[in-house]
Amino acid sequence: MRSSLETSSFRLVVLASGLAMLSAACGSSSGKPNGSGGSSADAGSDAKAGTGGVTGAGGKADAGGDVKADSGAGGVGTGGKVDSGTDSGTGGMAAIDSGVDTGPTLSPPWHAYWPLVTASAGGTTPDIGPNHYDASWFGSLAMFDNGYVNLVGNNSQLVVVPAKGGVPAVDVTGSYSVQAWVTMANVGGFQTVVSGEGYNIASFFLQKRVDLGGAWFFTTQAGDSITSANCISPPLPGGADAGPQNPVVAVVGTLYHLVATRDGLTGTQILYVNGVESGRNTCPAGFVDTGILGIGHGVFAGGRTDYVNGSISDVGVINRVLTPAEVSMLFNKGRTFVPPPPPDAGPDVAPDAAPDTAVDGATD
């Protein structure tokens, strides 16, 4: 449960193009120990959309096999490979091959999958899954350096995934699973890696909670209210539904693979950290949220909050429960796109300080 110091509402409009033009005035809130799912809200307003998610000419993905990415310096090809070619498109986003590979193999494939390693100047970062739920981002292109989206922990940066044709990227009223790879630059406060945006509170938070020892948790809400019941996995110690508990405390500079699953029939929700079950709980049904997926933040008391100070990549969602074997496979396979190491700044071989053999000046 949290007490609200100041609340305000945000107004949402999703354009027909599938890109969100969102304006949010955020209040501030403080978390109480039982944690209703949010955390302290930002003190400012959320970043507004610029010109929208514009895709330049020439950025069209092919429908066949593995092809080069269009538009500019190259995007993510099949299996996360980077195209080294150049396209003549006019400033468009590096297009993604829509062939058979949609990230780490699942059957059926991910419903949506965002590597978060490239973006267009127009304000979108691509979904390489079969349904093309391209995410809208607000901030600067520098957010996407070094093979991640790098976030500074405030509302100057924003990544959201709007519904497409009225259909959200993930249906939080049924069974679903969410994946992300994340590295924290700071572990203070509540920080939410992925969330389902409600009007007043997120339908789910894949998050680091400050009130429970700074560990990773999967939190769901029964209703779109800060007073609604929440359910946390791993469960609180001593709870009636407490199953295996192995809370993993987030450490700065450590890469984590997070997977949250929810069974819409049984109410069982599980959190996995680095391929291992961290804990499970039996939870009540959730609510129909706005259909917007938030990356790098949550929603509490009518405003976006819980901003991540760290790096996120390879966010995937699917409308079913991943099995433990699939989770283990995803962790062992690793990220879809891994940037190359930085070049060696020093010389590989020291120069020879000794003179070479003198030339023989005598006549043979």
Question: Quick one: pLDDT at residue 13?
Answer: 30
- Domain-by-domain residue ranges, the chain? 2-55+104-333
User: When comparing pLDDT for 193 and 94, which is higher?
Assistant: 193
Tell me if 50 sits within 8 A of 136, measured CB to CB: no
Cα–Cα distance measured from residue 157 to residue 297, given in angstroms and rounded to the nearest whole number: 10
Residue 106 has pLDDT above 70, yes or no: yes
User: When comparing pLDDT for 338 and 309, which is higher?
Assistant: 309
| Pairing of β 230-233 and β 216-221 | antiparallel
Q: What is the chain's length? A: 364
Residue 356 binned pLDDT confidence (cut-offs 50, 70, 90): low
**What ranges in 114-183 are assigned the alpha helix state H?**
none
Q: What is the pLDDT of residues 288-300, one digit of tens each?
A: 999 999 999 999 9
Question: Quick one: pLDDT at residue 78?
Answer: 35
Percent of the chain whose predicted confidence (pLDDT) is above 90: 58
User: When comparing pLDDT for 203 and 19, which is higher?
Assistant: 203
Q: What is the pLDDT of residues 159-175, one digit of tens each?
A: 999 999 999 999 999 99
Tell me if 32 sits within 8 A of 2, measured CB to CB: yes
Question: Quick one: pLDDT at residue 18?
Answer: 35
Instruction: Render the burial of 334-357: b for 16+ CB within 10 Å, e for the rest.
Output: ebbbeeeeeeeeeeeeeeeeeeee
Instruction: Output the furthest CA–CA distance in the chain (Å, rounded).
Output: 101
Q: Kindly report the CA angle at 74 between 71 and 78, in degrees rounded to 5?
A: 110
| SS3 of residue 58 by DSSP | coil
User: What are φ and ψ of residue 195, in 5° steps?
Assistant: -150, 160
Q: What is the pLDDT of residues 279-289, one digit of tens each?
A: 999 999 999 99
User: When comparing pLDDT for 57 and 231, which is higher?
Assistant: 231
Tokens describing residue 192 = 């939410």
Residue 105 binned pLDDT confidence (cut-offs 50, 70, 90): confident
DSSP label of 45: B
Fold of 2-55+104-333: Jelly Rolls (2.60.120)
Question: Quick one: pLDDT at residue 108?
Answer: 86
| SS3 of residue 18 by DSSP | coil
Q: What is the pLDDT of residues 111-128, one digit of tens each?
A: 999 999 999 998 999 999
Cα–Cα distance measured from residue 189 to residue 212, given in angstroms and rounded to the nearest whole number: 11
Question: How large is the C-alpha radius of gyration of the chain?
Answer: 23
Residue 36 binned pLDDT confidence (cut-offs 50, 70, 90): very low
Q: Sign of torsion, CA 197 202 203 207? A: positive
Question: Quick one: pLDDT at residue 339?
Answer: 73
Question: Quick one: pLDDT at residue 57?
Answer: 35
Q: What is the pLDDT of residues 57-103, one digit of tens each?
A: 333 333 333 333 333 333 333 333 333 333 333 333 333 333 334 45
